[in-house]
Amino acid sequence: MPLPDYLQKEILSDPAKRQFGAFDLARLLGDVFDPTTGCRVCILTDFDDPAAMMKNHAYLDAEGFPVQKNAHKHFYEALHGGVMEELGMHGGEMFAYLCTHGSNLDMQDPCWNVQGQQLSLEKDIYSQYDIILCITDWSATAPLTEKCKEFGFRGATLHGVNDVILNSGLAVSYDEVSADAERVRLAMNHADEVEIDFALEDGRVLTAWLGLGGQEAQKSHGLCRGDAPDVANLPAGEVYFVPENARGQFPMKYEDGTLGVLDVVDRSITNSTLIEGNQATIDEHNERLANDPMTGTLGELGFGTQVLPVSYSDIQDEKILGTCHLATGRDDHLGGDIVPGMFKKHENSTHDDILFAPHKTPNFNISEVRMKWADREEVLIQNFMPSPFILKALER
């Protein structure tokens, strides 16, 4: 099993060496949603001013909106250019809703079509379409997972889609992605606890402990087949857990580059301390934790299972073998107990991934990840490299 592409610089420097096919929407939808015959499909996207931007696809002539333009070119045009006919689907309409500006925040109900008419997500979209493709700036996996159970549709969330993702993470066989995720899932299944060592540039080693309680490991594997309501998060390829408890410390790189150390007690981040950068960023985080402690609750521990190039979009990069991520906030879409109503404000009820990867957090090294069961201990990752235990699990 080859190592992740970001560890093979010769592959990154020569895209022709990457073993990915060209993006093929018919293949992707056929893989993910089989069967597709008779299904009515649509595309959702997001704007701050959806009424204006959606009318006659005005965003195509506006500056910016790369994700929405990718949605139009690679999905909307492809659906109408023969993909729906090939897969026996119909519909293909595109709609937009108000941008949430938060990962996995519940969306407002109004949406707009290309005629500029206001519609309702519940009355006109969720209840009228069999397959919904949500291609947006902000992830909508959690709210759509909840809505699919109520309305019975299947769907996929593909936020942040860029050219690298289109030609790698979405240009693979999802039967193979699913099979690899299952191999890793079985290797990690029913673990009791995990320890993650983070080596800092100043020589310190921080350790975060997460209690898993022997739970069934889950996988994000991209397949959303049959009639059962479900939403796939694409690109897929990870094994994840909902922590029962957590303690210790781990580092954090904020959006402005500030570095901090986060203290964790009873599954929740309680405090951030500055390593370097902007003290005001640390103060703002600590104020948020004090005002709404639920924002610091750890709701996910995930491990990537795919060999992929770095896309600089977390939706793909957290699926890369050798990386891991934690997430704070709501986890109801993962089978957890943290729901939006537990937060003091709606805008706080996000699910925010914290990815640890060489390109994302070069100031921190994951020196080792250890997984423990009652009768044994296995190393999963060393220095952002999958361990022999994981590589053996992935042998076909």
| Residue 281 reports pLDDT greater than 80 | yes
Answer whether 212's CB lies under 8 Å from 244's CB: yes
| Residue 363 reports pLDDT greater than 60 | yes
Q: State the Cα–Cα distance between residues 329 and 331, nearest whole angstrom.
A: 6
- The pLDDT score that the predictor gives to residue 5 is 46
Over its C-alpha atoms, the chain yields an Rg (Å, rounded) of 21
Mean pLDDT of 283-301: 97
Q: Confidence band (pLDDT; 50, 70, 90) for 130?
A: very high
| Residue 393 reports pLDDT greater than 50 | yes
pTM as predicted: 0.93
Report percent pLDDT > 90 for the chain.
Answer: 93
| Residue 369 reports pLDDT greater than 90 | yes
